[in-house]
Amino acid sequence: MDQIIAYCGLVCTDCPAYIATQADDRAALERVAAQWREEYNAPNMTVESIICDGCLDDAGRKCGHCAECEIRACGVERGVVNCAYCADYACEKLEGFFGFVPAARIVLDGVRAAL
């Protein structure tokens, strides 16, 4: 399977929610939701809120946060493959996100270096 790199640099195809969704594995989705409820202190997280087809496909199902993500919305508006392709890389929104997920910067820097 080809990698799907989200606008923000997360690798959708490595995400356990994406993997379980694509496998149509309800039990795996239940385990991921339970793990994330604990990890992210999100007691209301449900299986339905983590079903995801990746954030790049407009028609696909999106995990709760991805559906409302301002980084994703900006990438869609600018029509870029992901933020590595943006003339304003790395913007303030991304810099804030990278503070929480430094691995996303590494992914996007790698994509950008290959351009």
SS3 assignment for 4-47? CECCCCCEHHHCHHHHHHHCCCHHHHHHHHHHHHHHCCCCCCCC
Q: Does some domain include residue 3?
A: no
Q: Does some domain include residue 1?
A: no
Q: Does some domain include residue 114?
A: no
Residue 67: per-residue pLDDT: 79
Q: Does some domain include residue 7?
A: no
Q: What is the pLDDT of residues 92-103, one digit of tens each?
A: 999 999 999 999
DSSP code for 55: S
Mean pLDDT of the chain: 93
Q: Does some domain include residue 5?
A: no
Q: What is the pLDDT of residues 25-67, one digit of tens each?
A: 999 999 999 999 999 999 999 999 999 999 888 888 888 778 7
pTM of the model: 0.88
Work out how many domains the chain is built from and give that number.
1
Q: Does some domain include residue 77?
A: yes
